[in-house]
């Protein structure tokens, strides 16, 4: 609203300025028809605008003046000096009020009736209040410093800046070619950054909030729904998204059309809605958001939706489709039929949105500005139309690639990722001549740019680079190119019709070296390359199924045990593989153990009888703290367990069986191994003992948990046990069984004398350090 | 009637282009091909930070190919609907004044010439065929589609 008022004020000001001379001329010559007309136009415009804004005083004034002037124009009245003065007084008052509105002040108080009365025929001439005009002039000087420019002028500046960028690029190339000269390079860098800044600023001057487009929608929907006896609630979001001014004008008509369609054909009458179990009031949500260098405008209604089957029937009846073609349509293609000329599922023709002529126009209008319209609908639940339009028409970040020595550009917004054809996790296959790339388990159709363009590539298929593209609104495909070059911001200009007719290109641009580059249209390449987007989407989903479970699959080490069993161990627990002579394996203390260097580890996976002469190979398993050995005969392979595991009925060395590399294998339960072998192996660490007086509640409640957390076993003096450390308060007597280690605590933070080694009892860090020192001393 | 005409040679034939339509005559140095475009589109070239769509007049007139391999070619630059085109010609000769309005050629011409003909104009150098630049740019296929 503020924007509109600002526009109104600006318009009034402009007209007032233009009128300045007219008024004086009219005063001299009251019967001058041309002057009369221009003054009439002014008051008429003011009247029309202020009715909209609720400025009743302005409206009354301008209305009265308009009436009087209309009489003159119709010849019912001859303008005389009195009328001229009266009209001038009114104009002055209007100018005064406009200034007040502009400054955001309240209307100047005062009664306008004498001004209005003075307009009546035969009335005494009112004198224009000179003071007010002077006041208005001082106010105007405080107004924000803005000027109104024509868009054509801005366009000219914009295109000049574009050319400047191109000239800069060429200069950059020449500088690179010549020997480098530091001062010149520095000056050039500065020039570059100034040009970039300028381009930024000029781009922004062309930006406008999309609110300007949305502000009229509620009214339009209200009028429409009243006419159709429907109830519609409009929900508008994202009005602050900024868009190129021209772009806003370009999407105004398509947007209006889509909304009219939604209200007319989408949203049902209240009774119908109630019957369908919906709220009486239909909801129409319009939202805008920015996504990369695109603006997405969603128009979503909760009406009856579009029936794809009906569309197909209609299309067949109208001869747009043959039956065979229709049978092959995906649900998405079926819905897309609404963009075909002459199709509509609405039973009756209405004045609002016509006979389905229109959606085809909507699409062609949006596509003309490089946008896309998408439709998604569920019968009975509603329809969502999405307009995707580029942010600006001119500058596009792009990736340059080459094929057969020729350079092309791909809009960066469409690029999902770039992989090497011979890279890891990428495989290229040919099915009936069509390329299929598998990228990390995802199958995407592959198009060779060389074959689409009919060029001979010198680069072998495996050495090419795959650019994974997702055209706006479409599905991914991989485009194989010879080489990737550079990311560049390109000033794109539309290409000649003969070039656009190929369907492959979105425009042309000049590279840094001054040579022309063609910018690809990713959706166009897909179409020309014969990628079927919907079919592909399903295939991609199928491929994604197993792929996602692979990522969850556990890597295992597949091996043959000493008894010949095919087993698998989780790779993570296997530290390394060792080979020892069989003499290192001994049964001691009731368990088979293996000596590895200085360490003796329990050995699992074997019995004493399995150990023959010669070498024994074993895995060294590690759970992070302890180690055990696991004997085996041979390693088969690294593999992954991605199938269901049949779990063993009883816990034991084998946790279950699964197909690994298409053969069953027993999965060794590492947890069980450690639980049954390692516990015995690890020497039990003796806990340090700390004595804390049991009669001191503070020590028992506050200190004890901390000491225990530090790894001590806490005893009190009732137990007759030697403690490693005693904690006592200053001034207390030590119990008999105290060791020589004592930590004294004091109640005061400050040290009483320098020989005092006590620790303040809330000095947590100091306490812990003291406890650790004790532990370390004991360790030795 | 003193419309200026640019006399050029295409396929050993001296023809006239309306000089008002021709912005400049340039020598094309580089030519970037446009894969998959209509055959008469020879490619793209750059002229003072502008992209020119280069039209091979020989192909547009179904007279065969212009040999572009020998580098520099002379071309007339024209603007149509905001796009700049360079029309490759064999030779740019002269500018002459038209001495008459174009009149239909009643003799049978080649199909290509027929398509681009605007009629015959009298000049001091004798009668010349006046070429419709738009038809020349549109080429064979556009005509077939229309």
Q: Report the residue from B36, B81, B137 with minimal CB separation from A453.
A: B36
pLDDT beyond 80 at B59: yes
pLDDT beyond 80 at A393: no
> Who has greater pLDDT, A767 or B116?
B116
Q: Residue B37 belongs to what domain range?
A: 4-141
CB contact residues (below 8 A), chain B span 35-64, against chain A: 35-38, 40-41, 44-46, 49, 51-53, 55
What does the longest C-alpha to C-alpha distance in chain A come to? 135
- Residue B31 contacts A, CB cutoff 8 Å: no
Q: Are A692 and A700 in contact (CB under 8 A)?
A: yes
- Residue A770 contacts B, CB cutoff 8 Å: no
Q: In the prediction, which pLDDT does A139 show? A: 45
Q: In the prediction, which pLDDT does A319 show? A: 75
Looking up tokens 């969502």, which residue turns up?
Answer: A384
Local confidence band at A151 (pLDDT 50, 70, 90 cut-offs): confident
Long-range contacts of A315-321 (CB under 8 A, 24+ apart): A315/A340, A315/A343, A318/A342, A318/A343
CATH number at B68 reads 2.40.50.180
In a domain, B39, yes or no: yes
Q: Report the residue from B35, B36, B51 with minimal CB separation from A516.
A: B51
pLDDT beyond 80 at A197: yes
Local confidence band at A126 (pLDDT 50, 70, 90 cut-offs): very low
Phi, psi of A516 (to 5 degrees): -70, 145
In a domain, B25, yes or no: yes
- The sheet carrying A477-481 orders its strands as A415-420, A465-469, A477-481, A442-448, A434-439, A426-431
- The span from the CA of A334 to the CA of A327, in Å, is 10
- The span from the CA of A238 to the CA of A219, in Å, is 18
Q: Are A388 and A395 in contact (CB under 8 A)?
A: no
CB contact residues (below 8 A), chain A span 45-64, against chain B: none
- The span from the CA of B33 to the CA of A518, in Å, is 10
What does the longest C-alpha to C-alpha distance in chain B come to? 44
Task: Name residue A287's beta-bridge partners.
Answer: A237, A298
Local confidence band at A538 (pLDDT 50, 70, 90 cut-offs): very low
Q: Are A39 and A19 in contact (CB under 8 A)?
A: yes
Please judge whether B81 and A494 are an interchain contact, meaning their C-beta atoms are less than 8 angstroms apart. Answer: no
**Element (H or E) spanning A220, and its range?**
helix A217-228
Q: What is the mean pLDDT of chain B?
A: 83
Q: Report the residue from B49, B137, B142 with minimal CB separation from A510.
A: B49
Chain B: residue whose CA lies nearest to A518: B34
Chain B positions in Cβ-Cβ contact with residue A493 (cut-off 8 Å) = 51
Please judge whether B44 and A453 are an interchain contact, meaning their C-beta atoms are less than 8 angstroms apart. Answer: no
In a domain, B79, yes or no: yes
Residue spans of beta strands (DSSP E) within A263-344: 282-291, 294-301
In a domain, B146, yes or no: no
> Was domain A400-542 assigned CATH 2.40.50.180?
yes
Shortest distance, CA B123 to any CA of chain A (angstroms): 33
Separation in Å, CA A605 to CA A166, A374, A551, A577: 73, 62, 30, 14
Chain A positions in Cβ-Cβ contact with residue B137 (cut-off 8 Å) = 496, 498
Separation in Å, CA A359 to CA A255, A313, A384: 11, 18, 14
Q: What is the mean pLDDT of residues A225-246?
A: 83
Q: In the prediction, which pLDDT does A137 show? A: 45
Q: In the prediction, which pLDDT does B77 show? A: 92
Phi, psi of A149 (to 5 degrees): -120, 155
Separation in Å, CA A380 to CA A225, A235, A266, B83: 19, 20, 10, 48
Q: In the prediction, which pLDDT does A349 show? A: 46
**Number of neighbours of residue A201 by Cβ within 10 angstroms:** 11
- Residue A291 contacts B, CB cutoff 8 Å: no
Please judge whether A496 and B40 are an interchain contact, meaning their C-beta atoms are less than 8 angstroms apart. Answer: no
Please judge whether B142 and A505 are an interchain contact, meaning their C-beta atoms are less than 8 angstroms apart. Answer: no
In a domain, B130, yes or no: yes
Q: Report the residue from B35, B45, B53 with minimal CB separation from A498.
A: B53
Q: What percent of chain B has pLDDT over 70?
A: 89
Q: In the prediction, which pLDDT does A132 show? A: 44
Please judge whether A499 and B44 are an interchain contact, meaning their C-beta atoms are less than 8 angstroms apart. Answer: yes
Chain B: residue whose CA lies nearest to A496: B83
- Residue B144 contacts A, CB cutoff 8 Å: no
- The vertex-A492 CA angle with A180 and B88, nearest 5°, equals 90
Chain A positions in Cβ-Cβ contact with residue B33 (cut-off 8 Å) = 406
CA atoms within 13 A on the CB side of A260: 19
Chain A positions in Cβ-Cβ contact with residue B145 (cut-off 8 Å) = none
Chain B: residue whose CA lies nearest to A495: B83
- Residue A89 contacts B, CB cutoff 8 Å: no
pLDDT beyond 60 at A130: no
pLDDT beyond 60 at A552: no
Mean pLDDT comparison of A17-26, A32-41, A133-142, A370-379, highest-scoring range: A370-379
- The span from the CA of B119 to the CA of B131, in Å, is 8
What number of C-beta contacts closer than 8 Å exist between A and B? 73
Q: What is the mean pLDDT of residues A460-475?
A: 77
Shortest distance, CA A453 to any CA of chain B (angstroms): 5
> Who has greater pLDDT, A379 or A545?
A379
Tokens of A681: 């192996």
pLDDT beyond 50 at A133: no
Shortest distance, CA A410 to any CA of chain B (angstroms): 15
Chain B: residue whose CA lies nearest to A494: B83
pLDDT beyond 60 at B121: yes
> Was domain A688-779 assigned CATH 3.40.1500.10?
no
> Who has greater pLDDT, B93 or A138?
B93
| ipTM for the whole complex | 0.85
The contacts of residue A314 (CB under 8 Å, 6+ apart) are A337, A343, A344, A345
Chain B positions in Cβ-Cβ contact with residue A496 (cut-off 8 Å) = 41, 53, 83, 85, 137
Q: What percent of chain A has pLDDT over 90?
A: 1
- The span from the CA of A69 to the CA of A36, in Å, is 7
Q: Which CATH architecture has domain A2-141?
A: Up-down Bundle (1.20)
Shortest distance, CA B80 to any CA of chain A (angstroms): 9
Beta pairing class for A406-411 and A207-209: unpaired
- The span from the CA of A594 to the CA of A600, in Å, is 6
Please judge whether B51 and A166 are an interchain contact, meaning their C-beta atoms are less than 8 angstroms apart. Answer: no
The number of distinct structural domains making up chain B is 1
Sequence ranges of the domains in chain A: 2-141, 151-206, 209-390, 400-542, 553-681, 688-779
Please judge whether A499 and B34 are an interchain contact, meaning their C-beta atoms are less than 8 angstroms apart. Answer: yes
**Could you say which of 3.30.565.10, 1.10.3720.10, 3.40.50.300, 3.20.20.140 is the CATH number of the domain covering A209-390?**
3.30.565.10
Please judge whether B53 and A406 are an interchain contact, meaning their C-beta atoms are less than 8 angstroms apart. Answer: no
Q: What percent of chain A has pLDDT over 70?
A: 81
Shortest distance, CA A15 to any CA of chain B (angstroms): 35
Chain B positions in Cβ-Cβ contact with residue A528 (cut-off 8 Å) = 36
CB contact residues (below 8 A), chain B span 63-102, against chain A: 81-83, 85
CB contact residues (below 8 A), chain A span 519-548, against chain B: 528
Q: In the prediction, which pLDDT does A719 show? A: 58
Local confidence band at A117 (pLDDT 50, 70, 90 cut-offs): confident
> Who has greater pLDDT, A226 or A18?
A226
pTM of the full predicted structure? 0.44
Q: A interface mutation test: which of B47, B49, B84 has the most A CBs within 10 A?
A: B49
> Who has greater pLDDT, A686 or B50?
B50
- The span from the CA of A522 to the CA of A399, in Å, is 12
Shortest distance, CA B99 to any CA of chain A (angstroms): 34
Mean pLDDT comparison of A5-14, A21-30, B38-47, B133-142, highest-scoring range: B38-47
Q: Are A733 and A724 in contact (CB under 8 A)?
A: no
- Residue B146 contacts A, CB cutoff 8 Å: no
- The span from the CA of A490 to the CA of A488, in Å, is 6
Shortest distance, CA B2 to any CA of chain A (angstroms): 31
Separation in Å, CA A320 to CA A215, A317, A324: 38, 8, 12
Q: What is the mean pLDDT of chain A?
A: 75
Q: Are A514 and A501 in contact (CB under 8 A)?
A: no
- Residue B22 contacts A, CB cutoff 8 Å: no
Please judge whether B32 and A454 are an interchain contact, meaning their C-beta atoms are less than 8 angstroms apart. Answer: no
Phi, psi of A384 (to 5 degrees): -125, 120
Please judge whether A504 and B138 are an interchain contact, meaning their C-beta atoms are less than 8 angstroms apart. Answer: no
Q: B interface mutation test: which of A496, A511, A512 has the most B CBs within 10 A?
A: A496
Q: In the prediction, which pLDDT does B85 show? A: 92
pLDDT tens for A309-357 read: 888 888 888 777 778 877 777 777 788 877 776 655 454 444 444 444 4
pLDDT tens for A742-754 read: 777 777 776 656 5
Q: What radius of gyration do chain B's Cα atoms show?
A: 15
Shortest distance, CA B82 to any CA of chain A (angstroms): 9
């Amino acid at each position: 609203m503020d924007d509109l008022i600002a526009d109104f004020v600006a318009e009034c000001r402009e007209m007032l300025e233009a009128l300045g001379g007219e008024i004086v001329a009219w005063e001299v010559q009251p019967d001058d028809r041309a002057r009369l007309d221009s003054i009439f136009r002014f008051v008429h415009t003011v009247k029309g605008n202020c009715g909209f804004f609720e400025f009743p005083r302005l409206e009354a004034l301008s209305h009265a003046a308009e009436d009087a002037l209309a009489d003159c124009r119709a010849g019912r009245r001859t303008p005389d000096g009195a009328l001229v003065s009266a009209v001038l007084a009114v104009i002055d008052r209007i100018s005064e009020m406009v200034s007040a509105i502009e400054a955001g002040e309240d209307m100047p108080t005062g009664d306008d009736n004498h001004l209005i009365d003075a307009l009546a025929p035969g009335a005494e001439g009112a004198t224009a209040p000179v003071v007010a005009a002077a006041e208005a002039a001082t106010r105007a000087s405080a107004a924000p410093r803005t000027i109104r420019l024509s868009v054509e002028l801005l366009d000219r500046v914009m295109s000049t800046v574009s050319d400047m960028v191109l000239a800069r690029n060429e200069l950059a190339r020449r500088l690179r070619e010549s020997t480098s000269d530091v001062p010149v390079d520095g000056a050039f860098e500065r020039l570059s950054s100034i040009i970039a800044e300028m381009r930024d600023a000029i781009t922004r001057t062309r930006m406008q909030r999309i609110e300007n487009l949305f502000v009229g929608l509620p009214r339009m929907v209200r009028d429409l729904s009243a006419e159709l006896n429907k109830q519609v609630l409009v929900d508008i979001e994202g009005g602050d998204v900024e868009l190129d001014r021209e772009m806003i004008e370009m999407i105004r008509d398509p947007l209006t059309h889509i909304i009219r369609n939604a209200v007319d054909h989408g949203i049902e009458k209240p009774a119908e809605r109630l019957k369908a179990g919906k709220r009486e009031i239909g909801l129409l949500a319009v939202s805008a958001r920015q996504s990369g260098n695109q603006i997405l405008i969603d128009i979503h209604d909760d009406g009856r939706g579009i029936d794809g089957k009906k569309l197909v029937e209609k299309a067949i009846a109208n001869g747009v489709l043959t039956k065979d073609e229709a049978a092959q349509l995906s649900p998405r293609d079926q819905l897309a039929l609404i963009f075909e000329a002459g199709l509509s599922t609405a039973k009756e023709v209405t004045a609002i949105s016509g006979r389905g002529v229109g959606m085809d126009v909507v699409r062609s209008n949006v596509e003309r500005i490089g946008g896309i319209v998408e439709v998604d609908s569920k019968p009975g639940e509603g329809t969502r139309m999405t307009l995707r339009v580029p942010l600006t028409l001119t500058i596009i970040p792009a990736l340059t690639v080459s094929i057969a020595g020729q350079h092309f550009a791909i809009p960066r917004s469409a690029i999902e990722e770039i992989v090497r054809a011979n890279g890891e996790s990428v495989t290229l296959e040919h099915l009936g001549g069509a390329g299929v790339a598998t990228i990390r388990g995802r199958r995407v159709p592959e198009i060779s740019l060389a074959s689409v363009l009919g060029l001979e590539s010198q680069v072998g298929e495996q050495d090419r680079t795959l650019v994974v593209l997702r055209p706006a609104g479409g599905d991914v495909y991989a485009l194989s190119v010879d080489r990737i070059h550079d990311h560049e911001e390109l000033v794109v200009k539309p290409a000649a019709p003969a070039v656009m007719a190929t369907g492959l290109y979105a425009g042309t641009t000049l590279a840094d070296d001054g040579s022309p580059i063609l910018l690809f249209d990713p959706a166009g390449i897909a179409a020309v390359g014969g990628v079927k987007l919907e079919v592909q989407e399903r295939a991609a989903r199928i491929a994604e199924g197993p792929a996602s479970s692979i990522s969850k699959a556990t890597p295992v080490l597949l091996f043959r045990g000493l008894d010949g069993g095919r087993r698998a161990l989780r790779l993570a627990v296997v530290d390394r593989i060792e080979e020892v002579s069989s003499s290192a394996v001994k049964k001691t203390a009731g368990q088979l153990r293996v000596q590895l260097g200085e360490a003796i580890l329990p050995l699992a996976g074997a019995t004493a009888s399995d150990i023959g002469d010669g070498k024994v190979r074993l895995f060294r398993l590690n759970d992070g703290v302890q180690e055990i050995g696991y004997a085996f005969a041979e390693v088969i392979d690294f593999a992954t367990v991605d199938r269901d595991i049949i779990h063993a009925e009883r816990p034991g060395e084998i946790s279950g069986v699964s197909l690994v590399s298409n053969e069953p294998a027993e999965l060794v339960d590492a947890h069980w191994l450690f639980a049954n072998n390692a516990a015995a192996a690890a020497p039990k660490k003796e806990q340090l003992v700390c004595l804390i007086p049991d009669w001191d509640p503070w020590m028992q409640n506050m200190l004890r948990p901390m000491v225990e957390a530090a790894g001590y076993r806490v005893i009190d003096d009732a137990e007759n046990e030697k403690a490693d450390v005693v904690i006592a308060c200053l001034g207390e007597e030590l119990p008999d069984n105290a060791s020589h280690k004592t930590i004294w605590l004091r109640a005061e933070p400050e040290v009483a004398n320098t020989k005092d080694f006590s620790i303040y009892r809330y000095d947590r860090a100091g306490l812990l350090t003291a406890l650790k020192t004790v532990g370390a001393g004991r360790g030795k | 009637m003193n419309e200026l005409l640019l006399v050029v040679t295409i396929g050993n034939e001296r023809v006239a282009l309306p000089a008002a339509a021709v912005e400049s005559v340039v020598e094309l140095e580089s030519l970037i091909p446009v894969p998959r475009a209509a055959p008469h589109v020879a490619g793209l070239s750059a002229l003072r930070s502008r992209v020119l769509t280069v039209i091979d007049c020989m192909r547009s007139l179904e007279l065969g190919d212009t040999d572009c391999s020998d580098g520099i070619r002379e071309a007339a630059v024209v603007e149509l609907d905001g796009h700049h085109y360079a029309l490759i010609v064999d030779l740019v000769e002269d500018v002459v004044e038209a001495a008459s309005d174009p009149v239909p050629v009643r003799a049978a011409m080649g199909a290509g010439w027929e398509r681009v003909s605007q009629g015959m104009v009298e000049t001091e150098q004798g009668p010349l065929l006046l070429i419709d630049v738009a038809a020349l740019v549109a080429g064979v296929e556009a005509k077939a589609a229309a």
